[in-house]
Each structure stands twice: as structure tokens, then as C-alpha cells.
Amino acid sequence: MKYPIFIVCIAFGLSSLVQADDWPNFQGPTRNGVSNEIGLKLSGWDRNPPSVLWKKELNEGFGGAAISGNEVFLVDRDLGERDHVLCLSLEDGSEKWRFTFDYAGKLSFHGSRGTPLVEDDAVYYVSGFGQVFRINRETHREDWMVSIQDDYGSPPPKWGWAQSPVTVGNVIIVPAMSEKVGLIGLDKKTGQELWRTDGFGDSHSTPTVLNLHGVDQVVFVATLRDGDDGTGTTISVLPETGEVLWNTNVYFNKIPIPFATKVTEELVFLTGGYDCGSCMLKVRNDGGDWNVEKVFDMIQGTQIHPPFLIGDHIFFLANENSNHKGEARKKGGLMCMDFDGNIAWHTGDDPFMGRGNMIFVDGHLLIQDGEVGYLRSVKPSSEGYEEVALYDVFGKKAEVDEQIAKQEGRAVIKMPDFKYWSPMALSNGRLIMRGQDHLKCLDLR
């Protein structure tokens, strides 16, 4: 007898409706914040909100989580003293093991930075002070460590190394950012240098792997600063050899943070904060002769997290330092634009959502409000903003209302910013969200 598919699913339990993926590195399995999971509970939270499966106390910091199987990996830092790479149970948040690295020093905006990268046998991470580690998942000890500061003479960037590691084949790619060395490719088994590029300034952006015109390439956004001015560089290299395919200086951002976003086979979108706006590049490959030109630029940009390509539109939080107060907030919020830079709509200050981050899953954008930590579920559309659910994950609504009430009568109301800037992670229906000093696991199944 043949049964409808949905009946078969019910026979095996509702959990079988959820298609599970690991989230093994920054921005997930496809490195663009997109999850392939389906069957999640992404609406109706006013009646049936997601349950909090567990909570883990942490030190202050910004580092995001990676998920492999039933294990969660993230970096925590004892202020001024040492880093801990934690391995937690995805089921209950209990600690399974940790790797500790003593290194004295403080960073502006204290705490951890990037997201670990997890493979079957090892965990890779870049510390805020420029040490690159391979940690053995069986022994829980380092297989090797490379110090970018010591080995390449690299001065720390403004807020330390905030990059997450990237691997392609047997190569791990990280920014050295010294005067003479830009990107480096290391053998991920031994830590031995395989290649290097010439220097091009510094950055807080993570290298990203894009396939343009059928060629996998590592694209990186950096800048050589001269006060508030400088020269921007966007460079593309082959991950196996470090051979430079193309580079351009048409986009300048004084402090690059979001990585480059592929729009089409030839369009790449660059964006950032600090009033440096955004730029669309057109990349051509004429028989191995690569050429790059600027298609358009715009004054709006997103300061920390990368935009999302959904259908024929780009979505991003157009929020940065300069539009976080008063009337300027109305210029920001979630923004939707087409590939020609035409803005379809933006939410302004209702809701604003700060410098939060997003995941795209099962036809919904999950947005962590960067100011107060609310989780919003949004149906992306070029027609307008459509919020289908909201959940006060960190219980900040009462505190927010109290702070606003104390400012009654002021010409400019200053919204609180609790700095919920860490990237989320999603695997098997469990969503990992970080506040400044703790981690929460939500059940979206």
C-alpha cells in the first residue's frame, strides 16, 4: 500500500520533518548564512514560543558558535588572561572538554572574536591576538600553532584579529596583514606556510570563497589606512596557490568587517559601515584575463554582518555608528534593494535592529536584534517588511522600556545597545544565540 509522504513522516515522529545540517564554521555549511533545514517552527511564537533548552554562562565577548554533530564549539576569554576553546553538548549545554591558551592582553571591546572552524579531526581558530591553532578533537591538544604577530611581524588591527578561519582542501587561509604579507595559506595538517601574497593593509573581514565564472577563489576586503582616508583593496586569489586573479581599489572602507557577497557569476557586492557605504563590482573573465569595474555605489551600508541574496533582491541591516541616534535611525533598519541599487523599502527605526545578524532558513530570515537581542522571524519580500514572529530571547523588554521611560521629554531618545552582535548558528532545529556573557540554545523544532 502507498501512503502519502506526510503520513510516513508522522509515523516516524514530527522530528523527522526537520532536515538537519551541521553548522561547522562562520556563516554555516555554505558560508553565506543559509541553512537547508526545513520543517522548523518559525511562526506562532506569541502562542507557542521556542523553548530554551539550555543556557551557558560565559565571559564578555563576541565569538560565535560552530556545530558539528552533537557538539557546539566556541571561544571564551578570561579578561586579559587566556582563551578557552569550549566543546559543549548540543543536547544540554554541558561541557565535554576545553582547550586553554594563556595569553595576557586586553582588546578594545573585550572578549572573544571569531568563530571556530570544525572538521572531522580538528578544530581551527584564530585568537584576537593573531595566533592560529589546530586543535586535535581526539586529544584536545594543539597539533600546531602559528603566531601571526611573531612570525610575520604583524601589528594587531584596531580590535584585534576578528577573522574566522577558512579552509579549502588542505589549505587554511588567514590574513597576516603585515607590511609585506597580506593573506597566507597554511597546510592545515602541519601549519607549514604554502603561499603568501604581498601586503595590502589590514581588515576585520573574513576571507570568503566565491565561485565566479566557474572558478573557486578567495576574495578578501582590506584597506591601507592613512588617518580617516586611505586606499581600499579587494583581492581575489586561488586558494591552492595564492596566485592573484584580480584586485581593485574602487571600494574604500576605513574599517572593513563584512565579507564580499556573490550576487551573480559576475556581480560581487561590497559593503561596510563608518559612512563608507557600499559598492557593486562587475568581475569579468576573458580567457583567464580578469577585469573588474564598479557598477554603482551607494551611501547605505551594513557595519558588521554580511548581506543576504534572496531571489533577485539583497537584504541587509543598513545600520552603523552614525545612524544609531535620534532621527538618523529612520534612515536605517532592514533594507531591501535590487541588483541595480534601487531601494525597494527599509524599516527605518521601526524596527531598527541595530548591528544584529541574520540566518536564512526555510523561506524566513531569522534576525537577532543587535541592540536588545529579540529574535525576529521575517518573510523576505520586495513588497515590504513582513514580520511573522518575535521572541524576547534574553528578557530585555522590561529593561528597555524602563530606560526609555527615564528619558521622557528628551528631544532625542537614546535606545539601549546591549551589543548582541555575535553570529548565530543553527543545526538540527537548535538555534544558538549569544549575549555578551552567556549562550542560549533555542528549540525551533
Is it the case that residue 10 has pLDDT exceeding 70?
no
Q: What percent of the chain has pLDDT over 90?
A: 86
What is the predicted pLDDT for the residue at 147?
Answer: 98
Ramachandran region, residue 69 (left: φ > 0; alpha: ψ -120 to 50; beta: rest) = left
- Predicted pLDDT at 156: 87
- Is the pLDDT assigned to residue 382 strictly greater than 60? yes
pLDDT in tens, 242-263: 999 999 999 999 999 999 999 9
Give the CA distances from residue 78 to residues 102, 105, 147, in Å, rounded to whole numbers and listed in that order.
Answer: 9, 10, 20
User: What tens digit of pLDDT does each residue of 200-243 get?
Assistant: 999 999 999 999 999 999 999 999 877 777 899 999 999 999 99
User: Per-domain residue ranges for the chain?
Assistant: 21-199, 210-302, 305-420
DSSP 152: H
Instruction: Tell me which architecture the domain covering 21-199 has in CATH.
Output: 7 Propeller (2.130)
Residue 32 predicted with pLDDT over 80: yes
User: Could you report the per-residue pLDDT of 174-212, keeping only the tens digit for each?
Assistant: 999 999 999 999 999 999 999 999 999 999 999 999 999
CA distances from 242 to 131, 195, 231, 286 (A): 21, 6, 22, 20
Summarised one tens digit per residue, pLDDT across range 422-445 is: 999 999 999 999 999 999 999 999
Query: Residue 100 in contact with residue 133, Cβ under 8 Å?
Result: no
Q: What is the mean pLDDT of residues 7-16?
A: 35
Distance CA 201, CA 66 (A): 29
Please determine, for residue 17, whether its predicted confidence score (pLDDT) is greater than 90.
no
Over 50: is that where the pLDDT of 168 sits?
yes
pLDDT(7) > 70: no
Q: 128-137, 216-225, 345-354, 409-418: which range is least confident on average? A: 409-418
Q: Which residues is 338 bridged to in the sheet?
A: 313
Which distant-in-sequence residues (6+ apart) come within 8 Å of 352 by Cβ? 319, 329, 332, 333, 371, 415
**For residue 225, what pLDDT is reported?**
76
Confidence of residue 19 (pLDDT cuts 50, 70, 90): low
How many of the other CB atoms lie within 10 Å of CB of 123?
A: 25
In angstroms, the CA 96 to CA 99 distance is 11
pLDDT in tens, 284-307: 999 999 999 999 999 999 999 999
Instruction: State the pTM of this model.
Output: 0.93
pLDDT on residue 413: 75
pLDDT at 44: 98
pLDDT digits (tens, 9 = 90+) for 52-80: 999 999 999 999 999 999 999 999 999 99
Which is nearest to 161 in space by CA: 208, 123, 205, 124? 205
Q: Does domain 210-302 have CATH number 2.40.10?
A: yes
- Whether the pLDDT of residue 142 is over 70: the answer is yes
When the pLDDT of each residue in the chain is averaged and rounded to a whole number, the result is 94
- Contact between 117 and 166 under an 8 Å Cβ cutoff? The reply is yes
